[in-house]
Structure 1
Amino acid sequence: MSQSDQKITLYGNYRSTPSWRVRLALGLKKIDYKLISIDLFKNEQKSEEYTKVNPNQRIPALIYGDQILIESTAIIEFLEENFPQHPLLPDDKIKRAQIRGFCQVINSAIHPYQNSNLVAKIEKEGNMNKTEWIKFWVTRGLTAIEELLKKHHGKYCFGDDITMADIFLVPQAQAVAERFSFDLTPFPLILSIVNNLKDLPEFIVASPSNQPDGISQTKN
């Protein structure tokens, strides 16, 4: 069986930014997949059934044939290596490393600090306002991203081709703006790039509002 014939299943959630990243990668590479929604509000990620898929009880997880892949960065790297169409990393090794570093600023220095479980624990045990906590870390992270973009940006994060950097930036920026009313105007490059990307067909299809579980939440 060829790689293109392998069945792919994605476990995710409409508002999970790591799930959003993987949806973008799959869409940009024109890869068909089955989506299984994990309801975070009902703690389905902690269910016995899903824990067998990912013992870390996090999303996303991707099933490729009979193999299980976890963590969005690893999943996207796998897709890049195994599905060369519509590449998300350039051939130049230095640029590849720079893009990976950019992605890790988002993945390590912004996203973990807005995790709902962490924020709830901080607010409860640390006597800290969650909005102030999120704003501090998001501002710090996006300030670093804005500086990196000054060196690398074109129409998109790294020149005029869509890369992994873009599929990390858009979910992060749109999520903090929409979910936490975070003002992006102090970050003009971030705002410009997000505006250049968000209305592209693949980005529209992958957006939370167009996911089956997102649509059902809106109706409720």
Structure 2
Amino acid sequence: MAEMEATATAGRPRLYSYWRSSCSHRVRIALNFKGVDYEYKAVNLLKGEQSDPEFVRLNPMKFVPALIDDDAVIGDSYAIALYLEDKYPNPPLLPQDPKKKALNHQIANIVSSGIQPLHNLSVLRFIEQKVGAGEGVLWTQQQIERGFTAIENLIQLKGCAGKYATGDEVQLADVFLAPQIFAAIERTKIDMSNYPTIARLHAEYMAHPAFQAALPGRQPDVPSSS
């Protein structure tokens, strides 16, 4: 792949992304929502470009996304989202109310630590190799359904869902939920009738310009046949 640089053009962050990565998807939403003009650099995970020594210098975990902003190099979607919140505070992704802020972090963490990592590409490959063909799909469905059940119940328990997950404004919970819901519907074929609140949120996300522009199928590295 093309040589990677450890610094970005002044005033224009560079995002290392893969079109289908839900972690990259989150960051694209946050950047779009904040109105940040950024440069897109594709990292093809299927070709193993995340193991390129130049990329490993940027993110030793060999994951996308990675964000370079001037001399800042950040290789985790949650850390990137919080960095963007600090550097570009308007419009905000986190509310001032401490209870609602904690709820946003809780929902985001369910997605980022309790759902997505349990069915990423390396995990599914391991399961398919060790257990058998087709087992990865069943495992993925189980992890998503467990997480969605928790989020559905959490939102209903708190009684705070408005137009979006925690109110009438897009917040951090939405940035993390939207890609997970999209992947669950488009790739895993989860029955969303079991999650009416989450299904309603998906419709709102699909109508929002910042979310639309971040969709996998709209990225420059999407395969022509997808």
Which bin holds the TM-score, normalised by the shorter protein?
over 0.9
Give the counterpart of 2:84 among 79, 93, 111.
Answer: 79
Q: How much has 1:120 moved relative to structure 2?
A: 1.1
How far apart in 1 are the matches of 2:201 and 2:155? Answer: 10
Alignment of 1:14-33 (within 5 A): 14-33=19-38
Which residue does 1:184 correspond to in 2? Answer: 192
SS in 2 for 1:218: coil
1:54 aligned partner = 59
- TM-score when scaled to structure 2? 0.91
State the secondary structure of the residue aligned to 2:74. strand
Residue correspondence of structure 1 range 1-220 to structure 2 within 5 A: 6-127=11-132, 129-150=135-156, 151=158, 152-214=160-222, 217-219=223-225
Q: Report how many residues are paired.
A: 214
Aligned residue for 1:213, secondary structure, equals coil
Which ranges in structure 1 are unaligned for 5 or more consecutive residues? none
Shift of 1:186: 0.9
TM-score (norm 1): 0.93
Task: For residue 181 of structure 1, give the secondary structure of its aligned residue in structure 2.
Answer: coil
Amino acid at match of 1:73: Y
CA RMSD of aligned residues (A): 1.3
Q: Which runs of 5+ in 2 are unaligned?
A: 1-9
3-state secondary structure, aligned to 2:224: helix
Residues 51-108 of structure 1, C-alpha deviations (whole Å, 9 max, x = no match): 1111110010000102201100000001001111110001112211111011000111
Q: Post-superposition, which runs of at least 4 consecutive aligned residues in structure 1 deviate over 3 A?
A: none
Report percent identity of matched pairs: 36
* 2-structure distance, mates of 1:190, 1:177: 11
